[in-house]
């Protein structure tokens, strides 16, 4: 029961998905949490406060100006008590209010007053979710350290199909457990993670790169932060939002830039996870001007980039070193050879030709190979769950029980 005695404030807003929040409350109570539900006026049009009162075993707060049971400023008291403030479902309207700092009802006032972590779970029409204003508001909340879950995709109550569904309550529960559960097993541990591709320029408008999206590395960084780690994320170019709570974020373009930053912070860290897809080669001759197309074929001469992971394996003393291998054939053989040649503690390998395990998707199917030869095969899982599985194995090398 990771949530035993945790105080969760749950804000419910005016979405048809409000009925799913009832199941979320049930799951939270089953996990040992205390739950205080706050409902907006619109939310009460979909589910009655009595339903939440029965399931949460607490009176439901509905009015900013109702007579308090105890002499206290209720929205401030609620904000102070919360270990986590969850807004689920969150409409486009309440997301906009949060982004603007508007506090015109009990829910938005309490969210603005809290110093606890805040989790927002959007649920709305696909067009509303994809509207640039909503996307900009979500981006702003994330930049301010608020955790925002991505909605699920599928058939919506309004008749449309697309992104905007409220996630399954059990998936929301998992995120809550990660945010405020009792797992602080990486506290005071310094973790360096690399993510994304590199770009090796040919001329001012062209470059060599690969299909890496950075999702696995970013999931690792997010999970490590949630478990108490001090995380430096060194990232090649991606379209991803940087995880909240990082100790430091460093953006790089090329393999040489990544090498420079990794070596700079290597003495600082306890763990290095090299999830980035670093280019093996770069153009030998960079052209400062755009190379014009000609009738004749063009030969591009390449030179080898430094092997950052191998260099770290030669330098490490106390650090736990984890590598990744994206393969298409001889998966296990190639990964084992890489682990031994580069002096790794763990290597995570996947077959990028398998559906659900390639670049750019939200899931992964991996094998984790240990330095003693042990091989663990994980089923298809969301990348965040894969990230936590990898961190669990790293703990074994940090002498955690």
Binding annotation for CTP: 280, 290, 306-309, 324, 338, 342
**Max intra-chain CA distance, the chain:** 84
* Burial annotation 331-364 (CB, 10 A radius, 16+ → b, else e): beeebbebbeebbbbbbbbbbbeeeebbbeeebb
3-state SS track over 63-108: CCCCCCCCCCCHHHHHHHHCCEEEEEEECHHHHHHHHHCCCCCHHH
Q: Which residues contact 345 (CB under 8 A, 6 or more apart)?
A: 320, 321, 322, 370, 371, 394, 397
Which is it for strands 381-382 and 363-364: parallel, antiparallel or unpaired?
Answer: antiparallel
34 CB neighbour count, 10 Å cutoff: 19
Alpha-carbon distances of 201 from 96, 198, 204, 216, 358, rounded to whole Å: 40, 10, 7, 24, 25
User: For this structure, is 158 an active site residue?
Assistant: yes
For residue 209, what is the enclosing H or E element? none
31 closest CA partner among 81, 80, 84, 88: 84
CA atoms within 13 A on the CB side of 116: 26
Asked if 229 contacts 222 with a C-beta cutoff of 8 angstroms, the reply is no
Residue with tokens 């994809």: 130
Cα–Cα dist 168/166, whole Å:
7
Mind giving me the DSSP string for 152-192? EEEE-TTS-EEEEEPPPHHHHHHHHHHHHSS--TTTT-EEE
Of 54, 157, 158, 375, which residue is the catalytic one?
158
The encoded tokens of residue 305 equal 């980039």
13 CB neighbour count, 10 Å cutoff: 29
251 CB neighbour count, 10 Å cutoff: 14
147 closest CA partner among 115, 121, 114, 183: 121
**Alpha-carbon dihedral 163, 165, 168, 171, rounded to 10 degrees:** 50
Residues taking part in catalysis: 158
């Amino acid at each position: 029961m990771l949530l035993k005695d945790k105080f969760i404030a749950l804000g419910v807003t005016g979405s048809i998905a409000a009925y799913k929040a009832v199941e979320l409350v049930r799951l939270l109570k089953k996990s040992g949490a205390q739950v205080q539900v706050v409902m907006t006026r619109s939310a009460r049009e979909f589910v009655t406060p009595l339903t939440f009162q029965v399931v949460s075993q607490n009176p439901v707060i509905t009015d900013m100006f109702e007579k308090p049971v105890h002499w206290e400023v209720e929205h401030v008291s609620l904000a102070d008590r919360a270990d986590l403030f969850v807004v689920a479902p969150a409409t486009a309207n309440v997301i906009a209010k949060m982004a603007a700092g508007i506090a015109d009802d009990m829910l938005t006032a309490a969210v603005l007053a809290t110093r606890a972590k805040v989790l927002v779970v959007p649920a709305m029409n696909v067009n509303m979710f994809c509207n640039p204003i909503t996307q900009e508001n979500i981006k702003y909340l994330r930049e301010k350290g608020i955790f925002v879950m991505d909605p699920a995709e599928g058939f919506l109550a309004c008749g449309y199909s697309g992104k905007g569904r409220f996630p399954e309550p059990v998936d929301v529960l998992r995120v809550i457990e990660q945010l405020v559960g009792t797992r602080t097993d990486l506290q005071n541990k310094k973790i360096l993670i690399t993510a994304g591709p590199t770009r090796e320029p040919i001329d001012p408008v062209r470059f060599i790169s690969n299909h890496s999206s950075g999702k696995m590395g970013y999931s690792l960084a997010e999970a490590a932060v949630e478990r108490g780690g001090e995380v430096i994320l060194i990232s090649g170019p991606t379209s991803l939002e940087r995880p909240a709570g990082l100790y430091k974020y460093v953006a790089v373009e090329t393999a040489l830039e990544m090498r420079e930053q990794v070596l700079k912070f290597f003495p600082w860290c306890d763990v290095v996870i090299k999830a980035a897809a670093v280019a093996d080669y770069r153009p030998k001759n960079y052209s400062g001007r755009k190379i014009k197309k000609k009738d004749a074929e063009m030969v591009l001469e390449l030179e080898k980039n430094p092997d950052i992971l191998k260099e770290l394996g030669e330098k490490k003393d106390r650090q736990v070193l984890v590598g990744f291998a994206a393969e298409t054939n001889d998966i296990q053989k190639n990964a084992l050879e890489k682990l031994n040649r580069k002096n790794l503690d763990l290597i995570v390998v996947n077959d990028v030709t398998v559906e659900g395990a390639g670049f750019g998707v939200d899931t992964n199917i991996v094998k984790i190979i240990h330095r003693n030869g042990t091989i663990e095969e994980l089923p298809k899982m969301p990348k965040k769950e894969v990230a936590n599985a990898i961190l669990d194995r790293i703990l074994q090398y940090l002498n955690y029980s």
